[in-house]
């Protein structure tokens, strides 16, 4: 009910009368009044003018279920939302929800993670009030061998969403880090549960440094936040909504072919490594070359002095 009232208030630039809200949702004046009171207590600035009605002046930087539902504009992503002020890891929560039978598109969001997890067994710093910690649950009917490409699809969605919301140029560092001005502001951890030819579920965990002003010493050199890189304080819920919209768009293109053939050109246009020297941190033997973009399978094409190599896993610096 609070989400619906917020949505109704946002739909108009002017005022919505209490009576209109009662009629629209089939509830009493007291119920509307109570919902407005709770929204104000949560930090929404709502003006009430006699004979005119209610008008929303400003919204706090919340990303809970009420707020996300009130701005939701997607078809399947985020149709079920689970929000936590604190949790261990949104990827862990999403996997539990998957096993309980929740549908593809279920979204888990947290304001703070106590055991945020990064790639390669690293941890992910997740202080409250500063970032977005979200996981999208997918249950795609596709070949499990193709699933790793979804992490590149997610990277495209996040980069586009950040660029749009913060009016900046967010780029992808292969395969799926997002950088602004060369500094990492987002990481993605994709995990899958599958059988030989069947995917039980995939969770795509996205961590974004939004308002952070300080970082732990170990990552202070390489990490930054949207605020530090752009000077802008964007609303986290709006960025989440934008990510889901962009993801639906790119995912539909991806699923047509179950590979990145329809996305390669666009991915390469926002690839920070494109035509640049890269050092591939291959666990067997690191090497250097020039990055020439990705293949339709998501491999990084690297030209060395001797040959052209397709890098399918690992990191580049």
Residues that bind ligand BTN (CB under 6 A): 89-91, 113, 116-119, 122, 124, 133-135, 177, 187-189, 205-207
Strands (E), the chain: 45-49, 53-58, 81-84, 107-110, 131-138, 171-173, 177-180, 183-195, 198-209, 277-280, 287-294, 300-303, 308-311
- Decide whether 163 or 209 has the Cβ nearer to ligand BTN: 209
119 annotated as belonging to a binding site for a ligand: yes
Rg (CA), the chain: 21
Long-range CB pairs of 212-216 (<8 Å, 24+ gap) are 212/127, 212/130, 212/131, 215/125, 216/125
51 annotated as belonging to a binding site for a ligand: no
Shortest distance (Å) from residue 155 CB to ligand BTN: 10
Shortest distance (Å) from residue 49 CB to ligand BTN: 42
- Decide whether 165 or 206 has the Cβ nearer to ligand BTN: 206
**Residue 228 near residue 184, CB atoms below 8 Å:** no
The helix/strand count (H/E) of the chain reads as: 9, 13
- Decide whether 162 or 206 has the Cβ nearer to ligand BTN: 206
Shortest distance (Å) from residue 91 CB to ligand BTN: 4
273 annotated as belonging to a binding site for a ligand: no
Quote the CA–CA distance of 18 and 30 in Å, as a whole number: 10
Quote the CA–CA distance of 54 and 262 in Å, as a whole number: 46
205 annotated as belonging to a binding site for a ligand: no
Shortest distance (Å) from residue 189 CB to ligand BTN: 4
184 annotated as belonging to a binding site for a ligand: yes
Shortest distance (Å) from residue 253 CB to ligand BTN: 24
- Decide whether 88 or 282 has the Cβ nearer to ligand BTN: 88
Reduced to 3 states (helix: H, G, I; strand: E, B; else coil), residue 36 is: helix
What six digits make up the tokens of 245?
């919209």
- Decide whether 118 or 314 has the Cβ nearer to ligand BTN: 118
Give the CB-nearest residue to ligand BTN: 187
**Could you say which DSSP state residue 299 is in?**
P
Residues tagged in the binding site annotation: 89-91, 113, 117-119, 184
Residues tagged in the binding site annotation for biotin: 89-91, 113, 117-119, 184
């Amino acid at each position: 009910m609070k989400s619906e009232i917020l949505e109704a208030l946002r739909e108009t630039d002017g005022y919505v009368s209490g009576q209109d809200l009662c009629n629209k949702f089939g509830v009493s004046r007291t119920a509307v009044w109570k919902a407005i009171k709770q929204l104000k207590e949560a930090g929404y600035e709502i003006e009430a003018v006699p004979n005119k009605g209610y008008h929303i002046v400003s919204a706090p930087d919340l990303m809970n279920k009420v707020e996300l539902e009130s701005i939701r504009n997607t078809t399947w992503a985020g149709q079920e939302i689970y929000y936590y002020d604190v949790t261990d890891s949104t990827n862990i929560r999403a996997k539990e929800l998957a096993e309980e039978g929740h549908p593809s598109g279920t979204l888990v969001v947290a304001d703070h993670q106590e055991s945020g997890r990064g790639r390669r067994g690293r941890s992910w710093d997740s202080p409250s009030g500063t970032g977005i910690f979200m996981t999208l649950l997918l249950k795609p009917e596709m070949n499990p061998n193709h699933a790793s490409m979804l992490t590149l699809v997610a990277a495209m969605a996040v980069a586009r969403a950040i660029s749009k919301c913060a009016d900046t140029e967010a780029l992808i560092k292969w395969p799926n880090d997002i950088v602004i001005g060369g500094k990492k502001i987002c990481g993605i951890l994709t995990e899958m549960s599958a059988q030989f030819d069947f995917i039980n579920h995939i969770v795509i965990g996205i961590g974004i440094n939004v308002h952070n002003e300080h970082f732990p010493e170990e990552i202070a050199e390489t990490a930054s936040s949207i605020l530090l890189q752009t000077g802008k304080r964007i609303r986290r819920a709006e960025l989440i909504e934008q990510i889901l919209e962009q993801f639906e768009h790119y995912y539909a293109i991806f699923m047509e072919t179950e590979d990145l053939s329809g996305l390669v050109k666009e991915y390469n246009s926002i690839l920070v490594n494109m035509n640049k020297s890269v050092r591939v941190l291959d666990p067997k033997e690191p090497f250097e070359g020039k990055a020439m973009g990705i293949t339709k399978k998501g491999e990084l094409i690297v030209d060395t002095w001797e040959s052209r190599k397709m890098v399918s896993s690992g990191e580049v610096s």
